[in-house]
Amino acid sequence: MNKYWNLLLCSFLLVFTAACSGNSDDEPEGETGELTLISSATYIENNGTDQAVFTVLKGKKDVTAEAKIYQKKGSSFELLPSASFSSKTQGDYSFFASYNNEKSPAVVVVVTSGMLDLPDDPQPSKFEGFKHRLLAVQGTSLGCTYCPLMIAGLTEYAKLEESKSTVLVAAHCIMEGDDMISAYSTAVARSMNFHTIGVPIVLFNMRSVSERVELKTGDTPSSVATRIQSTAQTLLKAEANTGISAAVSGTEASGSIKVTAAVKVGKTGKYRISAWVVEDDIYATGQLNSYPALEANYDFTHHSNVLRCISSSDPVSGVNLGGKAECQAGETLKFSYEFNLKDMEVANLAKARVVFIVTQNESGSRYTVDNAVSCGLNSQVKFEYK
């Protein structure tokens, strides 16, 4: 009888074990998804007090207290004593997290020196032969069903030589339901009469809207790119009368982006200057699309060159260069501005840039773009010559 009960008990234990035991590598309940390391700041100043604070997530669960965070140092790594980092030494610092034998992708924190100085001019006595860049403003919106074809056309244009001399800015406007629309992008769009013409549209150098590039019946991405290229080729034949050098500084902790520029004037005239903050690689779904076949080759969920803020809304063409009604040939004039991060919607400061635009009086009150440059955050741009 005892033998029978012992056998029955063993059978019960085997069934119980099979039902309740799991693989030792199974994730704890509620801990599904990838391991990610998040930094509170992409940029910090080299003062030893400005900090990047880290959070470790397993899926959506915060596991910072249980995880380990390491700093990469060449081919080795070093365990951080806490979930924060500060430094007095400029440079790029890479970190990753470890939790339950899983390693997160690395994140980079850049330690900057605060306000950057303008770079040295490689040819300080030269006031001609400036590198010429165009400004192209793209009127677009998630709610625009025809915009994907223009986006595809601009993607093809980016492969052409003329695109290297084009600074593209996407002004989301008109259609509702697009979080990338702002008071700033609306101001730019209205100043260029996009609300009258509609989108999609590409307009170079703040010229008359009659010179716009728009879609035509039977267009393909290649044909759109060719028309954009043709317009750029014509405009690039002109000489730039100004050259631009710039520096951009900013951190999350400071709450601002500080910009400064020097402009060399090669021809006497009336000039204005403005600075525009743009952001790249914004993830946003919901793009309406009349060309579904394009989705096989083009990405309509990641949006770049998105206009976030401008230094001057009225007029959009900017403020008088150097505060002067007329600038003289041979002058080098300065410009500075500070953007408040609270005044704009920036998803990722690491993906932000600043576009500097110098406009010149064409006739009457009309100003068109003479030259433009794009400068990354905590970066510099030197005067460039042909």
CA-atom Rg of the chain in angstroms = 27
Query: Nearest 5 degrees, angle CA 279-CA 281-CA 283?
Result: 110
pLDDT in 10s for each residue of the chain, 386 residues: 444 434 433 443 333 333 333 333 444 555 789 999 999 999 998 999 999 999 999 999 999 999 999 999 988 999 999 999 999 998 999 999 999 999 999 999 999 887 789 999 999 999 999 999 999 999 999 999 999 999 999 999 999 999 999 999 999 999 989 999 999 999 999 999 999 999 999 999 999 999 999 999 999 999 999 999 999 999 999 999 999 999 999 999 999 999 999 999 999 999 999 999 999 999 999 999 999 999 999 999 999 999 999 999 999 999 999 999 999 999 999 999 999 999 999 999 999 999 999 999 998 899 999 999 999 999 999 999 99
E strands, 100-238, are 102-103, 107-112, 134-140, 166-172, 201-204
d(CA 147, CA 354): 24
Strands 306-310 and 256-265 come out as: unpaired
Question: Where in the chain do CATH 2.60.40.1930 domains reside?
Answer: 35-112
Q: Among 205, 323, 190, 338, which residue's Cα sits nearest to residue 277? A: 338
> Cβ distance 182 to 308 under 8 Å?
yes
| CB count in 10 Å sphere of residue 101 | 6
d(CA 255, CA 257): 7
Chain length of the chain: 386
The amino acid occupying position 311 is S
> Cβ distance 95 to 39 under 8 Å?
yes
> Cβ distance 337 to 345 under 8 Å?
no
> Cβ distance 131 to 386 under 8 Å?
yes
Question: In the 8-state DSSP scheme, what is residue 60?
Answer: T
Give the count of alpha carbons within 13 A of 218, CB side only.
0
Q: Among 291, 288, 316, which residue's Cα sits nearest to residue 301? A: 288
pTM for the model stands at 0.85
Superfamily per CATH, domain 35-112: Macroglobulin (MG2) domain (2.60.40.1930)
Q: Among 33, 84, 41, which residue's Cα sits nearest to residue 62? A: 33
- Two tokens, residue 370: 């003479």
Q: Which helix (H) or strand (E) holds 4?
A: helix 2-20
